[in-house]
Amino acid sequence: MATLELRTVVKRFGGVPVVDGVDLTIPDGAFVALLGPSGCGKTTLLRLVAGFLAPDAGEIAVGGRRLSAPGAVVPPEQRGMSMIFQSYALWPHMTVEQNVGYGLRLRRLPREEIAGRVATICTAVQLETLMKRYPGELSGGQQQRVALARALVVEPQTLLLDEPLSNLDANLREEMRFEIRRLHDEFRYTTVYVTHDQGEAMATADLIVVLRAGRVEQIGTPEEIYGRPRSEFVARFVGGANVLPGRFAGLDAPFSIRLEDVAMFPAAPPNGGSPVEGTVVRRVFLGSARDYVVEAGGELIRITTPPQVDVQPGERVWLGFPPERCHRLEPVSSGG
């Protein structure tokens, strides 16, 4: 069992808390994304888990074995973890084969077994024709696959990924998301995936941990995080949302509503509700959708509509806020 537990982990740099009391339990074999803007402490948290940093308070345990506590850190090489780095960190002086086989050579496996396992994993990530190349001779996507193969060939209990796709172009990024998830499902290790891209987190993870300023803002499945954001921060950061005063939807507190959930009518709907009248300020055609900004009641509201809905800037529109799509937000926390 490789259940990963973090208990009130704190890490300060120069007195400033970067990770500020994180409590988190990641079940064995789960795929968890640590999601947050840059500077939220997600990479620091990952490096604490990897053992590159020592916590200032709290502890980190895997499968009940305490790995990190202040002053007592099991070194990275004894943690049975693997990591994919943002830079891939492929060793430029070793071929693909040597890079991938390095971890096995350290484990002093017989030569034939190393060759066999390297070949198997390289086939799994479609590198079998590139074994003799040096990293400098590979494309970004291929380098990414080598990094994956090198991390997976040692059969880690835990795989850590630090913004692994941020150096890839958009198409490749999409492809690699699915690849990373597919490999997880195939090998069933515990995965901790750090990203600032909510799309990546939603596409890959079972569980998303939204971090803000070193604290956990919300934990939930992608559906929960997207559908029921608990704070303005989560609503805005994950997927984009309007955060509006309660009066728009007859609520006693501010609420969030997704861009695509706001209904927009070219005329006042006859059957009522209480539509809000506004003026189109901006219209952008995005191909599969249109993106509007409507000024209503002193607020600027973003709305995504199907492309057929076509209203000129300056025209009047009426907006509806379906109650089941409006999420009342908890009063502003002090954790900001």
Partner 1 sequence: MKVDLSRVMFALAVLALVAMVVLPVGWLVVTSLSGPHGPTLDNFVTLFTDATMIRPFLITLGSSAAVALLCVAVAVPMGWCVARTDMPLRSLVRILVMASLVTPPFLGAIAWELLAAPNTGFLNQFARVALHLDRSVHLFNVYSVAGLTFVNFLYTFPYAFVFVANALERIPADLEDASAILGAHPAQTAWRVTLPLILPSILAGALIAFLQSMTVFGSAAVLTLPAGFHTMTTRIWSLFQFPPKPALAAAASMPMLLLTLALLRAQQLVLGRKGYALVAGKGARRTIARLGAWRWGALAFCGFVLLNAIVLPYGALLDAAFVKIAPALPTFANLTLAHVHFVFFQLDATPVALWNTMILALGAATIATALAFVVGYLVARRTVPGWNVLSFLASAPIAIPSIVLGVGLFLAYTRPPLLLFGTLWIMLIAFVTIEFPAAYQQLVAVASSIHPELEEAGRLLGATPLRVLWDITAPLMRSGIVAAWCFVFIGAIREISAAILLFTAPTRTIAVVIYDLNESGDTGSIAVLGLLLMIVTFAVLALANRVPVITTAAEEYRA
Task: List contacts with partner 1 (CB under 8 A).
Answer: 50, 52, 75-79, 81-83, 85-87, 89-93, 102-103, 106-107, 134-136, 150-151, 154, 160
Judged by beta carbon, residue 158 or residue 204, the one nearer partner 1 is: 158
Residue closer to partner 1, measured from CB, 151 or 303: 151
Between 114 and 317, name the residue whose CB sits nearer to partner 1.
Answer: 114
273 Cβ partners below 8 Å, 6+ apart?
320
Q: Are 8 and 23 in contact (CB under 8 A)?
A: yes
Closest distance to partner 1 from the beta carbon of 188 (Å):
19
Q: Which is nearer to partner 1, 67 or 238 (CB)?
A: 67
If the CB atoms of residues 115 and 263 are measured against partner 1, the closer one turns out to be: 115
Min dist. Cβ of residue 225 to partner 1 (A)? 29
Distance CA 291, CA 259 (A): 9
Which CB atom, from 24 or from 81, has the smaller least distance to partner 1?
81
Residue 74 vs 263, nearer CB to partner 1:
74
Find the shortest distance in angstroms from Cβ 38 to partner 1.
Answer: 17
For residue 237, the minimal CB distance to partner 1 (Å) is 26
Exposure class string for 142-158: b at 16+ Cβ within 10 A, else e:
bbbbbbbbbbbbbebbb
To the nearest whole angstrom, how small is the minimum distance from the Cβ of residue 68 to partner 1?
14
Q: Which is nearer to partner 1, 50 or 301 (CB)?
A: 50
Work out how close the CB of 106 gets to partner 1 at its nearest, in angstroms, rounded to a whole number.
4
Residue 311 to residue 319: CA distance in whole angstroms: 13
**Shortest distance in whole angstroms from residue 17 CB to partner 1:** 21
Q: Which residue, among 97, 141, 102, has the nearest Cα to 119 in the 3D structure?
A: 97
Nearer to partner 1, 165 or 329 (CB): 165
Report the nearest approach of partner 1 to the CB of residue 81 (Å). Answer: 6
Least CB distance to partner 1 at residue 136 (A) = 4
* 47: amino acid identity, one letter: R
